[in-house]
Structure 1
Amino acid sequence: LAVGPVGGWSVVSGELAAWDPSFLDPLALGGGALLGLVGIGLGSPGNPHILVRYMSIDDERQLRFAAVTGTLANVLMGMGAIFIGLVGRAYFPEIGLLPAQDTENLYPLLARETLHPAVFGMVVASIFAAIMSTADSQLLVGASAVVRDLYEKGIRKGEEVPQRHLVILSRAVVVALVVAAVILGWAAEELVFWLVLFAWAGLGAAFGPPLILALYWRGTTRAGVIWGVLTGATVTIIWYLTPALKDRMYELIPAFILAGLVTVVVSRFTRPPADVDEVFEILRGADRPPQPPRAPEPGGDHLR
């Protein structure tokens, strides 16, 4: 919709090349930057606000469909964001043409310039819908971590805590998280984006590899998972705080790889749970379609 009015993609690419040829060069920022851009998807398996959607699915037989659909949607959104940036640069070559000189205003401004007002309203509504969809998941995960993991299972371990008390405390934590997020976003606007990328890398590298291995490899052990989590988190922090490393590659890539390797190595030298075969049989059964009940054999005591 945005490319058509300016004469097609050839016109857009021509304007971008005339302005700066590096806009169309995927290796302009180096191979490490390109690898980091592609590998940013590795953070998905380790982020709780994404995992909780699979964990709360009503029918486990729909997990494969949900995973494929979610992956395709993420690919389309990622490619769409890249092309919106390219087309937007052709529409507005100077950042001074954007409201408040803020590149985050490009998407709604481009929609306003190219779409019917009614469709533009739907685009703006979709932005807020996407924000709320992510925010509510993260707030619920954060409140659950504080109330269930820290308070109920830690501070009040072994005690019977009234459900009403937990609900009230959860709501209070949600409000506190919202207030803290608003203050942080207001006081450190430029820092928020980098904090999001850092948190995405830390969670993805710490929990992603052990989780994937635990689901698909029978040899994964408790010690392997613990060391994998520690490795992913530690490498992410060290890589992020080392300018020479941070400038070469997004910290998620090396941290994810090393966390997976450590999980495998430690698991090789430790013993898996005794019921691992039983657990994997349950997982396999959940992946199979339901089987019709078998008819009783002739002469068998099927009423017993």
Structure 2
Amino acid sequence: MTESQVFELAVDRYAVYAFIGYLALLIGIGLYSARFSSSGISEFFIGGRKMNKVVIALSAVVSGRSAWLLLGVTGLVYVQGASAIWAVVGYIVVELILFLTYAKKLREFSEEHDCITVPDFFAERFGDKTGTLRSILIITFLIFMVSYVSAQFVAGGKAFSSSFGIEQNTGVLLSAIIILAYTVLGGFLAVSLTDAFQAFFMIFALVFLPFIAIQDLGGWSVMIEQLEFQDAALIDPLALSAGAFIGFMGIGLGSPGNPHILSRYMAIDDAKNLRFAAGIGTFWNIVMAAGAVLIGLVGRAYFSSIEMLPGADSENLYPYLAQLHLHPVLFGIVIASIFAAIMSTADSQLLVAASSVVRDWYQKILKRDEEISQKKLVLYSRLVVVALVVVALLFGLVAQELVYWLVLFAWAGLGAALGPTSILALYWKGTTKEGVISGIITGTLVTIVWYFIPVLKSSMYELVPAFIASGLVTVLVSKWTKE
């Protein structure tokens, strides 16, 4: 056996040990949280509104980023260069504003009216006695959440494949099983605690890897020289069209419409702590985004041609760069950071989707005149999580989309359908139920149509026109139907 083969075995062995240790901690958190989450549906879905401000800050940040940041953004920067930085600026700014304004109003309203889910909020705000608004929201959630969760499973498959040599579909299956285990066990408490724990893996890897890789290359100046030699546009943050700039900045418009982020605002123990959470969350948002951008740039300096990456896939840059530059144990931590990003989003989305089925459809529509025990509701919630994992897994096994675009499609659909409508519902008393229903349907349809028409999709990210259309329709219909 050659020296290189011995080294590769060592890499595999130590990386696997580090990764297994990480997974054991996650399952331990799930077991620890199981008793609390089993006590009632509020505890299972929003932690009984007792979550610590630091946990909420970190959980909101990492659940919103997913594998899109670690695999998608690093790959995008590798292909496009520094101009891709605007893809992260938009959501950082929007989420800071949400923490300081929107989140407080949503938290106070949800406590006053005992709202556990986002459909609960809409139903209470507009007196939805017939369940029409709830039903539309449930359908919207399930359409986009399956895509979103499937994208995380696909990302897990890619990470397993590029890091451990496991066949990609096998990796997709393993990712689904791991996420299912602790989400079913511990509910929202387990999800939020693991998010906070996983944030440190993501932050460490995103800061440490580019620092080491740039040093190994010869320093910052050498990296810039390499990039300039390939293409001067790679280091120009303004080397993009107006449509691309608006589309990148518009990514942030998805944040007020993605329920796995909104549920964090509803779960914090005190609305007064949201300002502190805003500072913590924004700081780590900036740090992680900067790390992802630097990884993409230094990766391009190392690998001038995409054919030099595993599978000629830019989304394999992050784990491949780590494998080449880090000690096996640290490489294991990097792989853990990828799964941290995947799991912190997928588990949150599974809970949101399950809550829409159990809380919003079963309890509030199908059995609205019956008293159902909390333990039965928690049991049904766990069963629905299992069913949703199976559906998302099947979709993920046949999905051909890149993680970056599959996530952005789901992000856009939810952002356009719920973003403008929830903002208007909180801030404009003239908003009507008919206006909200029209806005949700408009946002969903414009997202889907725009996405599947190449000439439109190439001109601008579908979230921007869909968000604007949804907001306009909500206002116009509300004025028309106002009592």
Do the aligned partners of residues 6 and 195 (structure 1) sit closer, same or farther apart at CA in structure 2, a change above 3 Å counting?
closer
Report the equivalent of 1:142.
Answer: 353
Do the aligned partners of residues 195 and 130 (structure 1) sit closer, same or farther apart at CA in structure 2, a change above 3 Å counting?
closer
Do the aligned partners of residues 99 and 125 (structure 1) sit closer, same or farther apart at CA in structure 2, a change above 3 Å counting?
same
Write the distance in 1 (CA, Å) between the matches of 2:217 and 2:385: 46
Alignment of 1:179-218 (within 5 A): 179-190=390-401, 193-218=404-429
Alignment of 1:39-58 (within 5 A): 39-58=250-269
Report the equivalent of 1:248.
Answer: 459
Write the distance in 2 (CA, Å) between the matches of 1:178 and 1:74: 28
Pick aligned residue for 2:302 from 91, 104, 109: 91
Do the aligned partners of residues 239 and 190 (structure 1) sit closer, same or farther apart at CA in structure 2, a change above 3 Å counting?
closer
Report the equivalent of 1:172.
Answer: 383
For structure 2, which runs of at least 5 residues remain unmatched after alignment? Answer: 1-210
Residue 53 (structure 1) shift: 0.9
Post-superposition CA distance 1:95-126 (Å, at most 9, x none) = 33323333232112223333444433333222
Indicate the larger mover: 114-123 or 91-100: 114-123
Pick aligned residue for 1:32 from 229, 243, 267: 243
Report the equivalent of 1:263.
Answer: 474
Instruction: Report which of the two structures shows the higher radius of gyration computed on alpha carbons.
Output: 1
Residue 57 (structure 1) shift: 0.9
Write the distance in 1 (CA, Å) between the matches of 2:218 and 2:404: 34
Residue 173 (structure 1) shift: 1.5
Do the aligned partners of residues 79 and 189 (structure 1) sit closer, same or farther apart at CA in structure 2, a change above 3 Å counting?
farther
Report the equivalent of 1:153.
Answer: 364
Report the equivalent of 1:297.
Answer: none
Residue 240 (structure 1) shift: 1.4
Write the distance in 2 (CA, Å) between the matches of 1:195 and 1:129: 19
For structure 1, which runs of at least 5 residues remain unmatched after alignment? Answer: 273-304
Write the distance in 2 (CA, Å) between the matches of 1:83 and 1:10: 13
Residue 29 (structure 1) shift: 4.9
Indicate the larger mover: 183-192 or 243-252: 183-192
Write the distance in 1 (CA, Å) between the matches of 2:267 and 2:252: 22
Corresponding residue SS for 1:200: helix
Write the distance in 1 (CA, Å) between the matches of 2:342 and 2:388: 15
Post-superposition CA distance 1:233-262 (Å, at most 9, x none) = 222122112221111000001111222233
Report the equivalent of 1:11.
Answer: 222
Q: TM-score, normalising length from structure 2?
A: 0.52
Report how many aligned residue pairs link the two structures.
272
CA-atom RMSD in angstroms:
2.5
Write the distance in 2 (CA, Å) between the matches of 1:63 and 1:152: 30
CA contact (8 A) 1:26 1:34 kept: no
Letter in 2 for 1:181: A
Report the equivalent of 2:313.
Answer: 102
Residue 224 (structure 1) shift: 3.0
Do the aligned partners of residues 212 and 80 (structure 1) sit closer, same or farther apart at CA in structure 2, a change above 3 Å counting?
farther
Post-superposition CA distance 1:175-212 (Å, at most 9, x none) = 12222222322222436543322111010011111212
Report the equivalent of 1:20.
Answer: 231
Write the distance in 1 (CA, Å) between the matches of 2:429 and 2:366: 34
Post-superposition CA distance 1:142-174 (Å, at most 9, x none) = 111112222222333323334343333222221
The one of the two structures with greater contact order (alpha-carbon pairs below 8 A, sep at least 6) is: 2
Write the distance in 2 (CA, Å) between the matches of 1:240 and 1:189: 15
CA contact (8 A) 1:184 1:192 kept: no
Write the distance in 2 (CA, Å) between the matches of 1:192 and 1:118: 26
Post-superposition CA distance 1:11-46 (Å, at most 9, x none) = 222212222334334455522122211211110110
Corresponding residue SS for 1:3: helix
Indicate the larger mover: 143-152 or 240-249: 143-152
Q: TM-score, normalising length from structure 1?
A: 0.79
Do the aligned partners of residues 72 and 214 (structure 1) sit closer, same or farther apart at CA in structure 2, a change above 3 Å counting?
farther
CA contact (8 A) 1:213 1:220 kept: yes
